[in-house]
Each structure stands twice: as structure tokens, then as C-alpha cells.
Structure 1
Amino acid sequence: MHEMSLCESVLQVLENEAKCQHFSQVTAVWLEIGAMSGVEVDAMRFCFDVIVRNTLADGAKLEIIEIPAQAWCLDCAQTVSIQQRYDACPHCGSYQLQVIQGDEMRIKELEVK
């Protein structure tokens, strides 16, 4: 379950930012998670609650914003929605697609005290 290590990394970012920006408590975290990131959202929620216990983010609300996957078709020069890697372009049928969105995970916003 790599979601556990992802949550540990998120906590590390929170702790580093707390030192830099001088806050002592995180009350909410917004994560953007791409549809093709390989992150299981339910597992992420569970792991987050476990990892942040007895930390500056204990009890913090986790909001997850799911980002749809999109790719740029090199043949027809259009941005297209995709469900998985190696999908064909829905416009021209080409497999020359470059993923431009949907494989990322990032902290979008924090609510702190």
C-alpha cells in the first residue's frame, strides 16, 4: 500500500511548512489526485487519518480533488480526455498521445492555525 508512504510524505511537507511559515496546527488539507496517478482515494483517506494522529495535523479534514486525465494528440493536435494510458485518440484514432494532466498528486491548499 503505497498510500501510507504518500501520506508520510504529505505529513513531512506539512511539518516543514509549519516551521517555515510559523503555524502550529493544520485543520484541513486539499490534495489534487489525478485519475491516472495510481493512488487509491479510499486508501489515501484511511492512511491519512492514521499517519496524522498525534501530529500537527491530528483531526485535520482531508479534501480530495480528483483530476481527470487528459492528453495531447501529436497527430491531430487536440487535447483529449483519456481513461488510461495507451488509449487511442477519440478524434483520429492515433496512439501518439502525450499525457498532460491526470498523473499527478499535489497539495493544493492548507487551512492552518
Structure 2
Amino acid sequence: MHELSITQSVVDEVRARAGERRVHAIRLRVGALTAVVPDAMHFCFDLVSAGTVVEGARLDIDLVPGRAACRACGVSFDLPDPVLLCACGSADVSVLAGRELKIVSMEVG
């Protein structure tokens, strides 16, 4: 479960930025192609934030769908899974979205 180490890194970064201030909410942007399972991340969040200024904070995850552009035919298309293949049959594609894993914001008080 790589969500545990990813979530630990998120909490560590948020704690470093928050200092001693209580964290009330964190918003993440997670790409669908990262293979991060939001439910698993929520579960891990409660574990790794326990006993810290992040404990009890709300974790909001915005899932970004995969999107790619085909270099062969020029079409942009959605990527429902990590298979990088255009409908024209070409695998020469450029991923436009879906690989994000970013802390977008945090609410402290």
C-alpha cells in the first residue's frame, strides 16, 4: 500500500508549513493515473495524523481524470486507465493530465 508513505509525506509537509498552528483542512489534487486510491489515502490519513497538529483535519481529494494527446493523429482523448493507447492504434501519446499529486491548499487556525 503505497498510499501510506504518500500520505505520510503529505502530513509531514503540511506539519512543516503549519508549525504549531492547528490544521483544519487539506485539499489535494490527485491524478487518476497515479494509482492512488482515495479511500485508502483517507484511511492512512487518520493513522499518520494522529497526535499531530493535523489530527482531526478534513482531507479533501480532487481526482483529476487522465487525458492525453496523440502525436500521430493529433486527437486529444480521455484516459480511463494507464493504458496509453489512442483509438487510431498509436502508442505515441503525450499525457496531458492525470499524473498530478499536489497539495493545493491547507486551512490552519
In the superposition, the TM-score normalised over structure 2's length comes to: 0.90
Are 2:51 and 1:54 aligned? Answer: yes
Q: How many residues align?
A: 109
Are 2:66 and 1:69 aligned? Answer: yes
The match for 2:107 is 111
The 2-side partners of 1:38 and 1:85 are apart by 9
Provide the secondary structure at the position in 1 that maps to 2:33: coil
In the alignment, structure 1 segments of 5+ residues that lack a partner are: none
Give the deviation of 1:100 after TM superposition. 1.8
Q: Percent identical across equivalent pairs?
A: 36
After the TM superposition, which of the residue ranges 71-80 and 61-70 deviates more from structure 2? Answer: 71-80
The match for 1:13 is 13
Provide the secondary structure at the position in 2 that maps to 1:27: strand
The match for 1:101 is 97
Q: 8 Å contact 1:89–1:95 — kept in the other structure?
A: yes
Provide the secondary structure at the position in 1 that maps to 2:39: helix
What is the Cα-based RMSD across aligned positions, in Å?
1.5
In the alignment, structure 2 segments of 5+ residues that lack a partner are: none
In the superposition, the TM-score normalised over structure 1's length comes to: 0.87
Q: 8 Å contact 1:88–1:95 — kept in the other structure?
A: yes
Q: List 4+ stretches of structure 1 deviating above 4 A.
A: none
Amino acid of the residue matched to residue 17 of structure 2? E
Q: 8 Å contact 1:27–1:57 — kept in the other structure?
A: yes
Amino acid of the residue matched to residue 5 of structure 2? S
The 2-side partners of 1:44 and 1:86 are apart by 23
1:75-86 mapped onto 2 (5 Å cutoff) = 75-86=72-83
